[in-house]
Amino acid sequence: MKRLLQIVSITLVIAMSMPTPASAADHDEQKAVLVTGASSGIGLAIAKKLAANGFYVYAGARKPADLEMLDAIGNISSVRLDVTRHEEIDAAVEFVKSQGRGLYGVVNNAGVAAYLPMNDVPEEDIDWVFDVNVYGPYRVNKAFAPMLIESGGRTTLIGSISGYLSGRYSGTYSMSKFATEAYTDAYAVEMADHSVHVSIIEPGGYKSRIREKVVQHTLDQMKDAGLEPTDEQKQQFDAMVASNEGLKEPDEVAEAALHVMTAEKPKRRYMVTPNLEQATLTISAALGKVAQLNRDQPYEFSRQQLIEMLDEALAAEY
């Protein structure tokens, strides 16, 4: 808790908005979707995309200014929601129920990151990242599961290609995204018994406030430790924040979320990258793990056998 209170970029100053419910006829015509972490970046893009395409969106946020901004958008009602707080999730469930639309979908977008060497990252930072990125979707899906089962709806997670790629300084974030991959596969099988589709969207590098938040979090940590960033570190931090401006807007990620909610047969996985390079890196990383699992192992498969397995996987429906 102390660590969370020290993270200025995610300070919990929030307010619940309670708009007047629409008519019963409107409720019958619109499917409702909850989007967590909808105040900016990918979450805001998804909320706007769904709202512009016939869905009524309950957009989760924490700061009063963000809640007010979301309420000003058509077909959107803001919902005070911190995915690390059970009481706020429970309140969100009651709020959505009170609106009379039911709930067709959930987009678990809320996420945070910490970038430090594994030997240096504080354990509380790992707890924080997992609390939001892993336990958050688990809590939200579990709380809204009865409504999704009733509607035969859909839930998706915003994962990352970092669920396949990991490297220097990205271990904590990647650990959380690898975990959501496992959660997705288990939950998809379990919820299929209730006619609820589960998927995961894995974006590459798109414009987002997460880089700004990472820098702020690191600066807060240094301040707590009585440290001042060096000139070199300041340049690195400025470069990280500035790099965000050169990235593509997350419109393609929003399109994937729309497909999840509208397709007759949504995919299990959506890899959405801004360029071919990131897509190549991701697929190569996945295949590299296959090669490592196979090479010089007690049960090693031939190249032809691997090709046959790949053909079967390409032909399978997920």
Alpha-carbon span 232 to 40, nearest angstrom: 29
Alpha-carbon span 316 to 59, nearest angstrom: 35
Structure tokens at 104: 């067709």
Alpha-carbon span 311 to 305, nearest angstrom: 10
CA atoms within 13 A on the CB side of 314: 6
* Contacts for 139 with CB less than 8 Å, ≥ 6 apart: 83, 86, 89
Name the DSSP letter for residue 39: S
Alpha-carbon span 225 to 241, nearest angstrom: 23
On whether the CB atoms of residues 79 and 59 are closer than 8 A, the answer is yes
Alpha-carbon span 23 to 31, nearest angstrom: 14
State the CB neighbour count (10 A cutoff) for residue 256: 23
Catalytic site positions: 173
* Polymer length of the chain: 318
Alpha-carbon span 107 to 203, nearest angstrom: 14
On whether the CB atoms of residues 196 and 152 are closer than 8 A, the answer is yes
Across 27-182, the runs of DSSP E, i.e. the strands, are 32-35, 56-61, 76-80, 105-108, 154-158
Alpha-carbon span 67 to 48, nearest angstrom: 14
